[in-house]
A and B are shown apart, each in its own frame.
Chain A
Amino acid sequence: MNTNLKISNVTKIYPGCVANDNVSLEFNSGKIYALLGENGAGKSTLVKILSGVIIPDEGKIYLNENNLKLNSPLDAKKNDIGMVFQHFNLFETLSVFENLIIDSDEQRKSLREKIDSIMKKYNFSIDLDIPVLNLSAGQKQKVEIIRCLIRNPKVLIMDEPTSVLTEQETSELFLSLKKFSEEGILIIYITHKLKEVMQLCDEVAVMRRGKLVSVSQIKNENIESLANKMVGQNLKTIKKRKAKTSSDQLINITNLNFISEDPFETNLNNINFSVNRGECLGIAGISGNGQSELFQVLSGEILSDKNSIEYNKNYIGDLNPQERREYLMAFSPEDRLEQAAIPQMAIFENVALNNFKSSNFFNNGLINENKIKEHSKKIISDFNVNTDNIELKSQFLSGGNLQKLIIGRELITAPDLLICFNPTWGLDVGAINYIHETLIKINEQNKSIILISTDTDELLKLSDKISVIHKGKLSNIMNADEVTSEKLGILMGGGN
Chain B
Amino acid sequence: MIIDIHFIGLIITSIMASAVPLILASCGELITERSGVLNLGVEGMMIIGAISGFAFMTVTGSLFIAVIGAMLAGVLISTIFAFLTQTLITNHVATGLALTIFGIGISAMIGKNFVGIPGKEFPVLFESLKDTIPFLSPILFGHSIVFYFAFALPFFTNYFLKKTKIGLIVRAVGDSPESASNQGINVKLVRYSCILYGGAMCGLAGAYLSMIYTPQWIENMTGGRGWIALALVVFSTWNPIKILIGAMIFGGLTIIQFHMQAMGVRVPVQFLTALPYIVTIIVLVVISRDSRKIRLSTPSSLGKSFYKDN
Contacts and interface: CB of A to CB of B under 8 A. Distances in A.
Contacts of B181: 73
B116 interface: no
Interface in B54-92: none
B168 A101 contact: yes
Interface string B156-191: 000000000100110110011011111111000000
B179 A90 contact: yes
Among A54, A92, A102, A133, find the residue whose CB has the most chain B CB atoms closer than 10 A: A102
A91 B179 contact: yes
B171 A77 contact: no
B184 A94 contact: no
Contact of B169 (A102, A133, A264): A102
Contacts of A102: 165, 168-169, 172, 183, 185
A262 interface: yes
Interface in B281-310: 291-292, 295-298, 300, 310
B179 A77 contact: no
A55 interface: yes
A92 B182 contact: no
A338 interface: no
Given A55-B310, A98-B168, A92 B183 contact: no
A93 B175 contact: yes
Contacts of B184: 72-74, 77, 103
Contacts, number: 62
Interface in A64-97: 72-74, 77, 85, 88-94
A390 interface: no
**Majority SS at the chain B contact face:** helix
A261 B297 CA distance: 19
Nearest to B180: A91
Contacts of B179: 88-91
A92 B300 contact: yes
B296 A85 contact: no
B291 A263 contact: yes
A230 to B, nearest CB: 27
Contact of B183 (A55, A89, A131, A264): A89
B23 to A, nearest CB: 24
A264 B294 CA distance: 12
Nearest to A51: B182
Given A74-B184, A102-B183, A133-B295, A92 B175 contact: yes
Interface residues of B, number: 23
B182 A93 contact: no
A73 B308 CA distance: 12
B179 to A, nearest CB: 4
A77 B184 CA distance: 9
Interface string B181-220: 1111100000000000000000000000000000000000
B295 A91 contact: no
Main secondary structure of the interface of A (DSSP, over half): loop
A431 interface: no
Given A73-B183, A102-B168, A93 B310 contact: no
Given A54-B310, A89-B179, A131-B296, A94 B172 contact: yes
A102 B182 CA distance: 12
A17 to B, nearest CB: 14
Nearest to B171: A94
Nearest to A105: B165
Nearest to A52: B184
B124 to A, nearest CB: 41
Contacts of A88: 179
A417 B298 CA distance: 40
A144 to B, nearest CB: 10
Contact of B175 (A73, A91, A101, A263): A91
Nearest to B290: A263
Contacts of B292: 263
A133 B169 CA distance: 18
Nearest to B172: A91
A459 to B, nearest CB: 32
Nearest to B178: A89
A89 B185 CA distance: 12
A88 B178 CA distance: 10
Interface in A97-139: 98, 101-103, 131, 133
A133 B176 CA distance: 13
Contacts of A90: 176, 179
B183 A93 contact: no
A340 interface: no
A103 B298 CA distance: 22
A53 interface: yes
A100 B180 CA distance: 12
Contacts of B185: 102-103
Contacts of B310: 54-55
A88 B175 CA distance: 13
Interface string B249-268: 00000000000000000000
Contacts of A131: 296
A161 B144 CA distance: 58
Contacts of A262: 291
B182 A53 contact: yes
A55 B308 CA distance: 12
Contact of A93 (B165, B178, B180, B296): B296
A281 B188 CA distance: 49
A94 B172 CA distance: 7
Nearest to A147: B183
Nearest to A76: B184
Contact of A264 (B171, B172, B295): B295
A442 to B, nearest CB: 38
Contacts of A93: 171, 175, 295-298, 300
Interface in A241-279: 261-264
A90 B176 CA distance: 8
Contacts of A133: 295-296
Contacts of B300: 92-93
Nearest to B183: A103
A263 B168 CA distance: 25
Contacts of B172: 91, 94, 98, 102
A72 B182 CA distance: 8
B186 to A, nearest CB: 9
A205 to B, nearest CB: 24
A267 to B, nearest CB: 15
Given A73-B181, A102-B185, 18 more contacts: A54-B310, A73-B183, A74-B184, A77-B184, A89-B179, A90-B179, A91-B175, A91-B176, A91-B179, A92-B300, A93-B171, A93-B300, A94-B171, A102-B169, A133-B295, A133-B296, A263-B292, A264-B295
9 contacts: A53-B182, A73-B181, A73-B184, A91-B179, A92-B300, A93-B295, A94-B171, A103-B183, A264-B295
A-B CB proximity, top 10 nearest: A74-B184, A89-B179, A91-B175, A89-B182, A73-B184, A91-B172, A103-B183, A93-B296, A93-B175, A73-B182
